[in-house]
Amino acid sequence: MNKRGSRRTLIGMVVSNKMDKTVVVRVERLVKDQRYKKFVRHYSRFMCHDESNDCSVGDRVQIIEHRPLSKRKRWKVQTTVAKATVV
């Protein structure tokens, strides 16, 4: 039985869905500043594969590492944690 290695999963917010089957997800992490001992927010943006084009801007999604799908896409949307609230 071939078992895949453990693939990283992250939770972030969709910031763009203008491409076909692709969304841009912003993941936030807290890093403690060495000098001031204060937590600072750092953001990373990942291009993720969204096969069914279900995600919209503002959704919180869980993404998982995936094989390279294009030049910049190495992640895939696994589940939608929370849908964006419509005002």
The DSSP output letter for 73 is: E
Between vectors from CA 59 to CA 5 and to CA 14, what angle results, nearest 5°?
A: 70
- Full-model pTM: 0.87
Is the distance from CB of 43 to CB of 27 less than 8 angstroms?
Answer: yes
Cα–Cα nearest to 11, from 32, 35, 28: 28
Q: Where are the domains of the chain?
A: 9-82
For the record, the structure tokens of 17 come out as 């869905």
pLDDT in tens, 17-75: 999 999 999 999 999 999 999 999 999 999 999 999 999 999 999 999 999 999 999 99
CATH architecture of 9-82: Beta Barrel (2.40)
